[in-house]
Amino acid sequence: MPPTFEDGLTRCAWVTAAPDYRHYHDTEWGMPLGTDTALFERISLEGFQAGLSWLTILRKREAFRAAFAGFDMDRLARFDNTDVERLLQDASIVRHRGKIDAVLNNAHRAIALREEAGSLAAFLWRYAPPETLPTTPVRATCPESVALSKALKSRGWKFVGPTTLYALMQATGMVNDHAADCAYRNAVHAARTAFTRPGAGNAPRPA
C-alpha cells in the first residue's frame, strides 16, 4: 500500500521522506514533456542512473546541466576529446566514460532522428503505451519500451535498454504509473489529457 505522509497525502510506494525526492514525485514525475531538449536530458540522465539511485542523479541534475551544455543536442554534437577529459575530471557529475560517451554519441543520433521524424519528441512519443492502471508490482518494461529500445539501438543509440526507456516513459508522462490511490495520479491524468503529443497524427503507432 502506498505510504501516507505527515501532510495526510498518499503517495507512490517508492517515495521516501527526502524532501527533494518528494518534491520531484509531486511536481515532475509523470508530467508530460514534449520538447526535444527536455526529453534528451531525461534519456541521458536515465542512462547515467544505470546502477545508481535516481535520487543520486536528481541531486546532481543541475551539475549535469551545466556540464552538458543544458543537454542541447546541437552543442553536445560539437563536443570533442577535450570536453570528454574535462567531464571525466568533473567531480560534480557521475564520471563514467561509457556513459559520457553515450550522451555525446546519442546527441548525434538524436539530430539524425530529428531529420527523420521531424523531432526527437515526435519519434519517442510514437511509442507511448496505451492508458492503463499501473501494475502491482510496477512493471519494469512494456512492449512499447522494448520496441523503442530496438528502434533506437538500430539507429546507433547507446544506454537505451527497455528498462531505461520504460523509466523514461514513466517520468515524462508517456504512461501514468502513479499508484491508483496516489494523491497525484489524477493531476498527471489531467495533464496528459490536455497534452498534445508531438507529431500527433504524423505517423502510425509501432506494431
Active site residue 24: yes
143 CB contacts (<8 Å, ≥6 apart)? 129
For every residue of 127-192, DSSP letters joined together read: TPPPP-PPPSSPPS--HHHHHHHHHHHHTT--S--HHHHHHHHHHTTSS--S-TT-TTHHHHHHHH
Residue 142 is assigned to a ligand binding site: no
Cell of 120: 526527437
Q: Which residue has the cell 495520479?
A: 185
Cell of 70: 543544458
Residue 25 is assigned to a ligand binding site: yes
C-alpha neighbours within 13 Å on the C-beta side of residue 30? 25
Residue 96 is assigned to a ligand binding site: no
Residue 178 is assigned to a ligand binding site: yes
Q: Which of 21, 41, 46, 184 is catalytic?
A: 46
Active site residue 54: yes
Residue 2: other Cβ atoms inside 10 A: 18
Feature table: binding site for Zn(2+): 12, 25, 178, 182
For the annotated catalytic residues, the residue numbers are: 24, 46, 54
Annotated binding site: 12, 25, 178, 182
